[in-house]
Amino acid sequence: MKKLLKSHTYTLLLAGIVFIFSLFFSMNRNYDNLDNYISVTIDHGDTLWKMAEIYSTDDLSRDEFIEWIITHNEISAKSLVPGESIILPIAKTNLSLASKQ
């Protein structure tokens, strides 16, 4: 066993480095460009279902909208806290265009 580890040290080291980098990049992939989406503050009584109704888009179904919020904000439907800000899957550019109409 010792001989095997000694002969494959560089291979194991390279595999470990590749694994760490892949974890790092996969974790950062979800947070790319989140500044381009609108953020809202949770009020008392707000639910993800209600948010999906208020801010519905043609791009996502209601279930996809809710799943996007859960994934990108790392929350669950039961963990909404009044005063907390969450990001919604609505681009700021779409919001500014709609407000000019």
Write down the pTM of the prediction. Answer: 0.59
CA distances from 77 to 44, 47, 66, 69 (A): 14, 7, 9, 9
41 forms beta bridges with: 85
Q: List, for residues 38-65, the tens digit of each pLDDT value.
A: 999 999 999 999 999 998 888 899 999 9
- Residue, of 25 and 70, whose pLDDT is higher: 70
Average pLDDT over residues 9-16: 86
Spatial CA neighbour of 62 closest among 48, 76, 75: 48
pLDDT of residue 12: 81
Residue whose entry in the numeric block shows the structure tokens 């039961």: 78
Query: Rounded CA gap, 9 and 91, in Å?
Result: 48
> How does residue 100 score in pLDDT terms, banded at 50, 70 and 90?
very low
